[in-house]
Chain A
Amino acid sequence: MTAGGPMPVPGEKYDGEWLRVHPASPFVRGWVALAAIGYFFGRDTFERMLQGEPLVGGQIAGRAPWLLAGGALVLVLAVLGFILSWYFTRYQVAEGYVRVNTGFLFKQQRQARLDRVQAIDIVQPLLARIFGLAELKFEVADAGESAVRLAYLRMEDARQLRATILARASGVELEPGRPEAAAPEAPEQQVLQVPPSRLIGSLLLSEQSIFVVLGGVASVVLSAVTENSGFFLYLIPAALGLIAAYWSSFHKGYNFTAAVSPDGIRLRYGLLDTQAQTLPPGRIQALRVVQPPLWRIFGWYRMQVNVAGYGAAGSDGQGGSRTTLLPVGEIGDVVNMLALVLPDPGTADPLRVFQCGLDGLGSDGGFVTTPRRARFLAPLGWRRNGFAATDTALLMRSGRWWRQLVVVPHQRTQSMALHQGPLARRFRLADLVLHTTAGPVLPRVIQADAGTALALFDAQAARARAARKRQTSEHWLAQVTPLVSPVEPAPLVEPAEAGTLVETVDLDPHQPPKLASSPGEPGWRGDELDQRVSPRAPNATQQEGPQRG
């Protein structure tokens, strides 16, 4: 494991010196190519061995040395290429930038500003995990491709580097004399964990299960009616696809934990490949909470986010899991995560407002719905479609069956548009679309009264402007944004277990100013949650403990 040299001494590393990734990384990355070469040249020999024939066939016996030489040459070239690519890949963290140089024929130099970081992921594919290596992905706002990928570092190096980058990006003042010293990792506190039983349950009750049941019933009926068992044959590829989909969801959601640290929200998940995402404060552009119809039985919700660096879901094959903030959770988990994303809910009674957004109807909680005259346009949804604006965010809810609540913080609004088609004009309605960065969340106020929508359009522009003026710095510690304090009352966070506080570092420059605890201010006061939430989900708060223990 420690083949890369001496252990890093905190404070000695990352002070502007150029470093290389772990020497084994090209082999971990390119093991498929090596395996292919081995397979290509080894298969024939192996087959002959099994059949008891001489190792080299008669007709090619004369050419065997050439073939061997060719194979060896390919192997040597591949290994040489690996070594060269490793040798010429170097990275540096200094002066507010992270720089990576790659390539020996076509050189590429990349640099990204640390304070523009949108997210940092540490990814461990299975093979890398076996070797104790990890890949570090540094995301800036370019919707898709990672700005900087360092594959692979030793796990503790990756964590150290992440801590350093996040500390620099947050604008924390380390030891004044040595501005380039490495930062200690910020302490973190676990907020929630998704037990595997709940994950399996959520998959069984998910949308695709409905299609499985429908498809199975349809094929049974069809084969019974037509007396042709051939229909079952068509089910085989469908079943394989579904198993793959279920497996992928299970694999990505397995052991999902969320923790909070001064560096941001930290999500960890994965069965074979593990991933640890860090979303610094204020990097979440939009958020949605959805509830498929069958999840209503257990009161489960799913949360997804738009983050500028992650791009649209599925753009790189794993966007779907990276944009998931909570694969399945109960109302208590949802409120906990909301409190992390939106530390200041901007209303006096956030639990009621958000509860109404999740499953309310009509004007409860200050929501403005589609006017009654338009009930023929949306016979089911007109009492559900609605919006509510708090001081810090706009809440948009929709969907009677597939319930959805979209939350967009005011300072994250990019631009807005009012839309009105001919039918909507007859009913004096309008849609308000909020533009946000690419991702699974598409904020839209559906079928609001035209006058209301226009008023919201103006008010929202003003609110976004005011919110932007408050937020001036990319360094999040410089902003007066409380982050950790909303969780500190922590009635929902289960009592401290071993490992809840992952690390306690004495030198703790990360600890943000505790601001939100002042009693008069609106905040997520957890003590109300028990009363508010309990009628619907009686054991929401104590759910996790016994299952996990």
Chain B
Amino acid sequence: MHTAAIDPPGITWLRVSPKYVTVRLVEWALGNLVVLGVLSLPLLFVLLGWWTWPPRWLAVAVPAFMLVLALWRLVLIPRQVRAIGYAERDDDLLIRGGIFFQRVMVVPYGRMQYVDISVGPVERRLGLCTLKLHTASASTNASIPGLPAEEGARLREQLSARGEARLAGL
């Protein structure tokens, strides 16, 4: 488990389910296949002789570049999922994420306006859910993806109870 320079010391991070990798893989596949397909069309047309303009090297280079980028992202997915973590402290919830661009966020329980849980089709099949916290600030983009369903429900109840106990105004 890697700890980054900006993680507060002495925190035991709870990690999300490794099954979340599958969700990310499906998302990756859907997104990149479409992009790659569209970008490969010029190559196909050039090879078939329908188009003359894009020179062959350009028609090859663009999709190849995208493919390398997509593969690079693919390799990163498991590490990115492992980097997601959350920790419940007495008064606030910590959420971390990211490998290259790391982010550690603290959301005080008293500041939470509401908590919602969303489940996508792939997540439902794997028994996962995504928990999202909302404060009065729109820039609080605090979500924990890839939680097992029962852990998500427990966390939601826990957060609601703690939020009510420490509720503060704006």
Contacts and interface: CB of A to CB of B under 8 A. Distances in A.
26 contacts: A118-B170, A411-B168, A412-B170, A414-B137, A415-B111, A415-B135, A416-B105, A417-B103, A417-B105, A418-B103, A421-B101, A421-B102, A422-B101, A425-B102, A430-B6, A433-B139, A435-B135, A435-B139, A436-B137, A437-B138, A438-B137, A450-B6, A461-B92, A465-B91, A468-B168, A471-B168
A419 B170 contact: no
Interface string A423-436: 00100101001011
Contact of B104 (A283, A417, A422): A417
B14 interface: no
B81 to A, nearest CB: 19
A422 B142 CA distance: 22
A340 interface: no
A141 interface: yes
Contacts of B104: 417-418, 457
The list of the 9 closest CB pairs from A to B, nearest first, reads A435-B137, A417-B105, A414-B137, A415-B107, A468-B168, A418-B104, A414-B135, A415-B140, A435-B140
Interface in B82-114: 91-92, 100-108, 110-111
Given A421-B101, A458-B8, A437 B108 contact: no
Q: Looking at A118, A283, A415, A468, which has the most chain B CB atoms within 10 Å of its CB?
A: A415
Count class of interface residues, chain A: 35 or more
B6 A415 contact: no
Interface in B111-169: 111, 135-140, 142, 166, 168-169
A468 B103 contact: no
A415 B8 contact: no
B25 interface: no
A436 B136 CA distance: 7
A450 B3 CA distance: 14
A17 to B, nearest CB: 30
A101 interface: no
B110 A468 contact: yes
Interface in A401-415: 411-415
A415 B138 contact: no
A11 B92 CA distance: 46
B75 interface: no
B6 A454 contact: yes
Nearest to B105: A417
B85 to A, nearest CB: 14
Given A414-B135, A415-B135, A415-B140, A425 B105 contact: no
A264 B110 CA distance: 25
Interface in B1-56: 4-6, 8
A545 B6 CA distance: 52
Contact of A471 (B4, B135, B169): B169
Contacts of A454: 5-6, 8
A470 to B, nearest CB: 10
B170 A420 contact: no
Interface in A424-474: 425, 428, 430, 433, 435-438, 442, 450, 453-454, 457-458, 461, 464-465, 468, 471, 474
A418 B104 CA distance: 5
Given A425-B5, A457-B8, A458-B8, A143 B138 contact: yes
Given A415-B108, A420-B5, A471-B168, A141 B136 contact: yes
Given A308-B170, A438-B138, 5 more contacts: A283-B170, A442-B139, A450-B6, A465-B91, A471-B169
A260 to B, nearest CB: 21
A416 B6 contact: no
